[in-house]
Amino acid sequence: MKIVDIVQRAGRSLRQAKARTLLTSLAIGVGAFTITLALAAGEGGRQYAADIVSSNTDVRELYVQPKDAHSTDPSKPQEFVEGPSMSFGGGFSQRMLSRGDIKILKTIENVSDVTPIYNASAKYITREGQKRYQAGIDFYNSAIKQDVLAGRTDDLQNDSVILPSSFTEVLGWSEPDSAIGQTVDIVMANSATGEERTFTLKVAAVTKSSLMAASISSSLLTTRDTVAEMYAFSYLGTPLEDAFLGAIVMAKDEASVDGVKEAIEKKGFMAQSAEDLMGFIFQFINVLMGILIGFGALAVLTSVFGIINTQYISVLERTQQIGLMKALGMRRRDVGRLFKFEAAWIGFLGGALGSGLALLAGTLANPWISDTLGIGDSYLLIFQPWSFVAIIGGLMLVAVVSGIFPSRKAAKLDPIEALRTE
């Protein structure tokens, strides 16, 4: 008997028991639904994380920190290490980079630039006739994408500042364009003496918080030299005067990043690239996706017993029919194939139904999820064509394996005894 004829016969047999076939398919469809959504969420999460990392870092950048020599176990006392450090209380402190460390980093081969991370924070920012507001200070990095509402960021000068849109209204500007060319006063306070110094900067651009930003903050952006001057004034006369939480090391090209990272670690520092950051995020996403797939697998496992039960009952109900087919010359192998193909049909229907409903639900839910999470036009559920093929194919295979026992029972039936069965 031809394979095509057996497949068609299997389809007709299932149509004769529509209700039972549908219920069994729905059982396996629950697993397909869960697994499809889990894969879509994993793909969407990875793409969103990749967009965030690429929008906030340059592939040539390495984030460098000093390597602590003490135990990382917080329950044990930490070994004292010479060098600048920032204390957080409770006996815990974070080592910091010194000027000497910055010089060492600059000497590493294939390093094009080293920028200390200035942990600068203004006492307040204001302008004439307006209230005072707290603000962080950071240097402008062209590698980080900015959503510019007004002005330009490419010609930033030492006497200029990029202002977040959250400051325009509170400082008295009704529109971002109104702030361009105007000045703001950034007041820094010395940590040792309390002395204040005012930096008057001209607004060069106004930006809004990007949905791809790694964090939402109210940091003002200015040139590296200006931030360095502010930082130096803030910590003048303190142990942190020439200390930094870390540094951004720029490799000459993408190909040399791994080599620079290895050289930095040999010098006794910790280095993390954009690829390392993405790897950590992807690992976290994969764990969550694995948990969801596990729930789907449990649903599929449960449906296996449903397929076995359905096929076994079908064998019992069609005993005479099986005997007649054998009496007319149908081989045992073809009888077994018939029931295996019926199981494959159930797996196909369940997989197609479950993954199809997941696609429909995900497509409808994506806009709501994006709006609720505030991720703009990015979608958290991204469906890949290969996932549908893999899920449906996998469930068909599971269904065929589940139908082996009933199919073997049908194949072994004696045609004479089967015809006598009432």
Q: pLDDT (tens digit, 9 = 90+) per residue, 158-169?
A: 999 999 888 988
- Helix (H) / strand (E) element for 115: namely strand 111-116
- Per-residue tokens: 181: 């060319």
Q: How far apart are CA 291 and CA 276, in angstroms?
A: 23
Pairing of strands 196-208, 160-164: parallel
**So what's the pLDDT on residue 125?**
93
Is residue 356 over pLDDT 90? yes
Q: How far apart are CA 66 and CA 71, in angstroms?
A: 14
Q: Which among 290, 299, 343 has a CA at the least distance from the CA of 28?
A: 299
**So what's the pLDDT on residue 216?**
43
- Which of the pair, 308 or 138, is modelled with greater confidence? 138
Is residue 342 over pLDDT 70? yes
**So what's the pLDDT on residue 185?**
94
Listed range (83-97, 186-200, 228-242, 270-284) with the worst mean pLDDT: 83-97
Backbone φ and ψ for 66, nearest 5 degrees, come out as -70, 145
- Per-residue tokens: 260: 């620079």
| 63 burial via Cβ count (<10 Å: 0-12, 13-18, 19+) | middle
The top-scoring range by mean pLDDT among 63-67, 178-182, 399-403 is 178-182
- Per-residue tokens: 295: 């729930």
Percent of the chain whose predicted confidence (pLDDT) is above 90: 22
Give 332's DSSP letter: H
pTM of the model: 0.62
Is residue 176 over pLDDT 80? yes
Based on DSSP, count helices (H) and strands (E) in the chain, helices before strands: 13, 15
Q: What Å distances lie between residue 95 and 137, 207, 231, 269, CA to CA?
A: 22, 34, 18, 11
E-assigned strand segments in 229-301? 243-244, 247-251, 269-273
**Distance from the Cα of residue 229 to its chain's centroid:** 37
**So what's the pLDDT on residue 392?**
92
Strand, helix or coil for residue 241: coil
**So what's the pLDDT on residue 203?**
93
Q: What Å distances lie between residue 280 and 39, 245, 272, CA to CA?
A: 18, 21, 11
pLDDT in tens, 247-293: 989 888 888 888 999 999 998 888 888 777 777 777 878 888 888 88
- Per-residue tokens: 341: 């193909």
How many residues would you count in the chain?
422
> Residue 205 — very low, low, confident or very high, per pLDDT cuts 50/70/90?
very high
Q: Which amino acid is at 178?
A: S
Average pLDDT over residues 216-222: 73
**So what's the pLDDT on residue 132?**
92
Average pLDDT over residues 28-39: 89
